[in-house]
Structures are given as structure tokens and as C-alpha cells.
Structure 1
């Protein structure tokens, strides 16, 4: 039996290529993958391919709390879809729907048992909002990953 699913969304005013690059490149992820200025990533490792692994080590800047978000990529469709499984077996699906110069990102994830649902939803929505801000304001045009 699967866990309940939470869904969060945002619309990013940028090209699908730039959104994809910002979402999948460690040098970008480290800048946006946090819900607020109180958090930061102390490590980001990505082997971005089906069967590849990821690790986002998040921590409060004061060091009072932190966790590793890690697992493996199950399915990748360039500019459209990323499905992954976390190290504790929960599934997440990220879809990227392009409409002109906007990309709707929808993240649906199985909840974890210890944290209240509203806290998980608010945390993930805040991370998505931070991604939107980063992707819309980042002018780096380096190449996207393979």
C-alpha cells in the first residue's frame, strides 16, 4: 500500500531548457534547494541518468537541524519528466509542462510518516517557490547536463 500523495506546483517564466538545467545541475541546485534563507545545502551530488543516484544534504544554517534527501532516478524524459525513489522507498514524480515561455512544474510525492502533512506540503511548496525565483532571475547560460 502506498503512502498518501502531496502535490505542489509553480509556473516558471523561462525556457524549458533553462528550467531543466537549473533543476538538474548541482551548481544550480545548491542555490535554490531550500525553503527559506535559514536553510542551505551543504552537499549536492547528482548522477543524472536513469538508475543514477542523488544526494541533497540540507541543513539549517545554525546547525540545529538537517537531513539528507537521497535516492535514485527511475525515469527521465528530457524537459518533461523525472521519476525518483528516495532512500526510504517513497516515490516522487516531477512533471514539466511547457506553454510558450512558461513551464508548469508539478511535484507529486509520497509523504513520510513522521512529519505532519501540512508541514511537508509547505516545505516543498517553499522550495518550489525558491526554484521559481532562482530560475527566473539566474542569467547563467552554461550548457545543460547530458
Structure 2
């Protein structure tokens, strides 16, 4: 079997809100359904979130016109309230999200890219979701 080099992508936002609010809105299923989209063409139709090490998550995302949908699924590896979430997707890729307390709060995401999709598209998608989360929290 050939070893495939893994590309790591990063996204970051600064949020003007208390760390407790940022954490709560990032992790609560009802809120995730509101902000987890890269633009208004998408929506998150279902969220299951067992936020603990070994707990599973599922975010069902779809284009509103019905032309494309996918399930974003995995298992949490580490969860430290108001600090860190790391997980492994069902395809084996890893991701880490850090929450740095301060004014503003810094939320940074680092994830292994899907080698079957264009890198630029994945980075843009991730950053758009993060930017939408910032608007949701601050709005």
C-alpha cells in the first residue's frame, strides 16, 4: 500500500463574545443547525452530537435545491470544555479545534484534507463556515 501524504488545512476566526458563549453555540445541536453552512445555498438538516471522548457526531448537510448532500460523521478523541475539541472522521481524517480565551476569543481549526476534493475548495468551505459561525455568535 502506498503512503499518501496528508495535507493539513487551517482556518481561524476572532469572535467578540465570552468563551462560554462561543463554546455553547459551537457545540449545541440546535445552534449547529443554524450556523453550520458555508453560504445560504446550504443547510444542515440534522445534528447528532455526543460531545465526549468516544462520542459520535453526525451533521447532515445539503444544498437547498437537493442536488447534493453529505453526512459529516466521526468520533470525538478529546474534549476539553472551552479549550479544545479533536475528532476523527469516519474516513480516518483528523481535526482539531482550539478555543483561546481572550478579547477576542480565537477559534482555530486544523484538519486533514480530503485527497479526493480540490484543496482550495475545502479551505474556502471551512473558512466560510467559520465566518458564518462568527456572524451567528456576534449577531
Common fold by TM > 0.5: yes
Indicate which of 40, 56, 62 corresponds to 1:53.
56
Residue 114 of structure 1 deviates from its aligned partner by 1.3
**Equivalent in the alignment of 1:80:** 83
SS in 2 for 1:54: strand
Aligned pairs, how many? 136
**Is 2:106 the counterpart of 1:110?**
no
SS in 2 for 1:114: coil
**Equivalent in the alignment of 1:125:** 127
Indicate the RMSD between aligned Cα atoms, in angstroms.
0.9
**Equivalent in the alignment of 1:140:** none
**Equivalent in the alignment of 1:34:** 37
Match runs of 1:63-74 below 5 Å: 63-74=66-77
Q: Which runs of 4+ in 1 moved over 6 A?
A: none
Name the CA distance, whole Å, in 2 between partners of 1:135 and 1:14: 7
Structure 1's unaligned 5+ residue stretches are: 138-146
